[in-house]
Chains A and B, each alone.
Chain A
Amino acid sequence: GENVEQHPSTLSVQEGDSAVIKCTYSDSASNYFPWYKQELGKGPQLIIDIRSNVGEKKDQRIAVTLNKTAKHFSLHITETQPEDSAVYFCAASNENSGGSNYKLTFGKGTLLTVNP
């Protein structure tokens, strides 16, 4: 099955700096890669996702890059703000695997702290 590794497990940055979180996956058939943000006491919320037919996607201060050859993808947050502090999860799935195509495998998460 799919295995997703996520690094770092904790990340502390100063407000205004950039933050980068990296994930690698094992199944070369995976083609859908979402990122979730989880705030304390809440469920994970989708913030951005990317499919294997593109290499980069941006949404305001958030961007995700994908390198299918190396089987890794990254989340980039620019101009970080204290409200960006949360746990971030990457995930991967194969949307073409028939009945299991909605099965997401999650990384272990990154606790991001943005210091004012």
Chain B
Amino acid sequence: DAGVIQSPRHEVTEMGQEVTLRCKPISGHDYLFWYRQTMMRGLELLIYFNNNVPIDDSGMPEDRFSAKMPNASFSTLKIQPSEPRDSAVYFCASSYSGGGRPQHFGDGTRLSIL
């Protein structure tokens, strides 16, 4: 079975540009999570959705960050405008509430803001 798919795998852009990260969760999973990983702060939960509805966005650092889930098979995390301190690896994960609830992670997007 296909796992969580994230794109792009790497993104390098200049400060001030808009960045869009994409995620396709595992088919049938009803929870989707966005995380950010840095050396200083480790793995931080940014936002999560249940049945395409945002449940908790308390981890979103600033208004520059936004996330959407228009349907059960696609989500985006957008940063506008981007800043160098946004450089990190961003992970998407999904889980199925009826199946013991382990979260399955994608391989991440490594984002570098110059």
Residues of A within 8 A of B4 (CB): 43
Q: B55 at the A/B interface (Cβ < 8 Å)?
A: yes
Within 8 A of B (CB), among A47-85: 49
B102's partner among A34, A106, A107, A108 (CB-CB below 8 A) is: A34
Q: How many interface residues does chain B have, given as a range?
A: 20 to 34
Residues of A within 8 A of B45 (CB): 103-105
Q: B12 at the A/B interface (Cβ < 8 Å)?
A: no
A102 CB → nearest B CB, Å? 6
Chain B residue at smallest Cβ distance from A109: B42
A106's partner among B43, B50, B100, B106 (CB-CB below 8 A) is: B43
Given contacts A43-B4, A49-B102, contact A102 B48 (CB under 8 A): yes
Q: B105 at the A/B interface (Cβ < 8 Å)?
A: yes
Q: Are A95 and B102 in contact (CB under 8 A)?
A: no
Which positions in B face A, CB cutoff 8 Å?
A: 4, 31, 33, 42-43, 45, 48, 50, 55-56, 91, 93, 95, 97, 100-108
